[in-house]
Structure 1
Amino acid sequence: MNWRELAACHGEDPELFFPIGDGDAAARQTERARAVCRRCPVARACRSWAVRNGEVEGIWGGTTASERRALRRRLLRQAPEE
């Protein structure tokens, strides 16, 4: 079974996970999305997928786009040079 089928957000309105703007309404929406992620059994797989694939929009695995960029930069710095 695919991790997406096990996700707590499966069946939720997808718009919840794509807040628009930086104001109070967007912050409240982000927190509601993160609340779903906190109870998700596959949040780690979701977050890893989003980081690996450079997902630039929305809440994935409880992280915002800027948090995922920071995670990706950290991973790239830790990667051994070839």
Structure 2
Amino acid sequence: MTRGTFAVPNHARPAWDELHARILATGPTPCAGPDRNDWLGTAQQQDRAARACFDCPVLEACTRYAITADEREGIWGGMTSAERKEWAA
């Protein structure tokens, strides 16, 4: 898979559907705003992105999806990939 391409793993589809439904119900999220590149950027950008997640109405659904899908890049649910692995262990 090339960078910029996104595919939801089949086993994570229910978690993705829940996240998508919550986004539709609550409106725009911080990761969809003008600073959206921060979620995959430098360590400093990702730190800023993670802090923005804590005000997000879909934080819990995002975290569930990221852990279920084993997302390995970027900030999801306010955590880096390493933090998600540690939290899920």
Given the two structures, how large is their TM-score scaled by the length of structure 2?
0.63
Q: CA deviation at 1:10?
A: 2.6
Query: Hey, what's the Cα distance between the residues in 1 that align with 2:44 and 2:34?
Result: 16
Corresponding position of 2:31 = 9
* Aligned with residue 58 of structure 1, among 66, 74, 89: 74
Name the structure 1 match of 2:13. none
* RMSD of equivalent CA atoms: 1.9
C-alpha offsets along residues 21-79 of structure 1, whole Å, 9 cap, x if unaligned?
Answer: xxxxx33212210121011111111011000001000000100000111223x2xxxxx
Matching residue of 1:47: 63
> Once superposed, which parts of structure 1, at least 4 consecutive aligned residues long, lie more than 6 Å away?
none
- Separation (CA, whole Å) in 1 of partners of 2:81 and 2:59: 15
Query: Is the contact made by 1:16 and 1:29 (CA closer than 8 Å) also made in structure 2?
Result: yes
TM-score normalised by L of structure 1: 0.67
Larger fraction in helix: 2
Aligned-residue sequence identity (percent) comes to 36
**Consecutive unaligned residues in structure 2, runs of 5 or more:** 1-19
